[in-house]
Structure 1
Amino acid sequence: MAKRILIVEDEKNIVDILSFNLGREGYQTLEAYDGDAGLQLALEQDPDLILLDLMLPKRNGFDVCRSLRAQGRSTPVIMLTAREEETDKVLGLELGADDYITKPFSMRELLARVKANIRRSEMVAAGPAAQAAGQRVELGRISIDTELMVAYKDGRALELTQREYELLKFLGSQRGKVFSREALMEHVWNYEGYVGDVRAVDVAVRRLREKIEDDPASPQFIVTRRGMGYFFNA
């Protein structure tokens, strides 16, 4: 069954280009031209992924993403924005967007990101069936139950997002090994041969530290190796 992608974008020429190219790749598309209509379609149609413009009539992309996550929807969201300001991109990630791409973008890059985010969502949905039954990774005070897809600190379950769980599981499974931001984009975000903006990694690491570290300002678990990347210290 074809994957369905919701395009929420107020510029019709962009919607037409996206719909055409996504259709050629075998995706079905839904279209909305303002934030209110986009949110309604997202909730009613439950698409496999949402391409969400930042600047929209009636309700902006930030508000749409915030509302989706507040209602417990985990649909992958890629934000489309013409803005270059770092604060906008980081805010989108903080509100629950999975990724962003800045206009003008190449169709090849956008399609690669769509494919990667849908693949990641499918892997998460597979859940325990895709995991070794009962496998538990012990990392000192941190432990990860890969069957239940739950991480614990000092025996207490942590409330992690899917991305935070995947990041912790990946670094924890290869503790002591340093991974660059680009490598993490490949292994955790599923972007093969990734070259580009990597601040999504820094946002995810910071949010994960806020949940697992005794003192996020002085991390003991997810540690930075200056100029190289991150590693799990256990």
Structure 2
Amino acid sequence: MENAKILVVDDDAKLRDLLSRFLTQQGFSADTLPDARELERKLARNRPDLIVLDVMMPGDDGLAVVRRLRAAGENIPVIMLTARGEDIDRILGLEMGADDYLAKPFNPRELTARIQSVLRRHHATPALSASHTAEEKLAFGEFVLNLGQRELLCDGQAISLTSAEYAVLAVLARHPRRPLTREQLMEMALGKGNGESLDRSIDVHISRLRKALERQDSKTRHIQTVWGYGYVFVPDGTSGE
């Protein structure tokens, strides 16, 4: 996304300066904050297209910030920066609603690639085959997945999803009753191949989607586990696990 506005929130002044200069060189519009105290004001005054958010910061840490944003229904894309790069940091970030994560130290070019990938997921219309149109809507239970508008509705009300969660749900819903492995979901939905922590990452996205889809009827399972294989989307929610 050309000229996208990126907001970097990190208490490391040298890193903020480095990323600001590098992202500007890559064609982005970059702004920075040393912590999250002014974040809400920044969102209201000069809304970015994506936030790069450090986990370890004074005051509210990155996990608390992204949790607060998602609880308020804010779906702006967020990439978390984790200091240790351990599984627990990554998984917690995804559980709070982050779109992606990157472990420090990292190559700025890798961050650029992650930003471009998340922005594509967030803004792009899903690839459509000859039998699908941009106006296609998939109805299941009390839900409607509008592929053209990239939104999930429940009884007419929009449900907030991250770009990754929407991408995973769209792939599952367009292949009903076809079991898909974790690796297939990562590739088809997120454009990622095999790599560290992929199984856990897709499991977190599935867990958050289940909470969104099953909050009104605990007996209905639209996304079901195929033990030893992966997941399958069941439009009517029957054929339980």
Distance 1:173 1:30, change over 3 A: same
Counterpart of 1:10 in structure 2 is: 11
Counterpart of 2:129 in structure 1 is: none
Question: Residue type of the partner of 2:174?
Answer: S
**How far apart are the structure 2 equivalents of 1:48 and 1:143?**
26
Structural RMSD (CA): 3.0
Question: Mapping of 1:99-138 within 5 angstroms?
Answer: 99-123=100-124, 132=133, 134-138=135-139
**How far apart are the structure 1 equivalents of 2:73 and 2:139?**
29
Question: Mapping of 1:79-90 within 5 angstroms?
Answer: 79-90=80-91
- C-alpha displacement at 1:181, in angstroms? 2.5
**2:189 matches 1:188:** yes
Tell me the TM-score normalised to structure 2 length.
0.76
**Worse-matched range after superposition: 63-72 or 76-85:** 63-72
* Greater fraction helix: 1
**How far apart are the structure 1 equivalents of 2:135 and 2:12?**
49
Counterpart of 2:197 in structure 1 is: 197
CA deviations over 1:126-148 (Å, ceiling 9, x no partner): xxxxx836533355786534356
Question: Mapping of 1:43-122 within 5 angstroms?
Answer: 43-122=44-123
* Alignment: residue pair count: 223
- C-alpha displacement at 1:70, in angstroms? 4.0
Identity of aligned residues (%): 36
Distance 1:81 1:42, change over 3 A: farther
**How far apart are the structure 2 equivalents of 1:57 and 1:208?**
31
- C-alpha displacement at 1:66, in angstroms? 3.0
**How far apart are the structure 2 equivalents of 1:194 and 1:114?**
19
**Worse-matched range after superposition: 81-90 or 98-107:** 81-90
**How far apart are the structure 2 equivalents of 1:43 and 1:206?**
30
Q: Is the 8 A contact 1:52 1:80 kept in 2?
A: yes
- C-alpha displacement at 1:193, in angstroms? 4.0
**Worse-matched range after superposition: 158-167 or 199-208:** 158-167
Distance 1:178 1:105, change over 3 A: farther
Q: Is the 8 A contact 1:151 1:158 kept in 2?
A: yes
Distance 1:11 1:225, change over 3 A: same
CA deviations over 1:165-210 (Å, ceiling 9, x no partner): 4422211211233333333233323x35463332332112112223
Counterpart of 2:159 in structure 1 is: 159
**Worse-matched range after superposition: 104-113 or 193-202:** 193-202
- C-alpha displacement at 1:12, in angstroms? 2.0
**Worse-matched range after superposition: 133-142 or 164-173:** 133-142
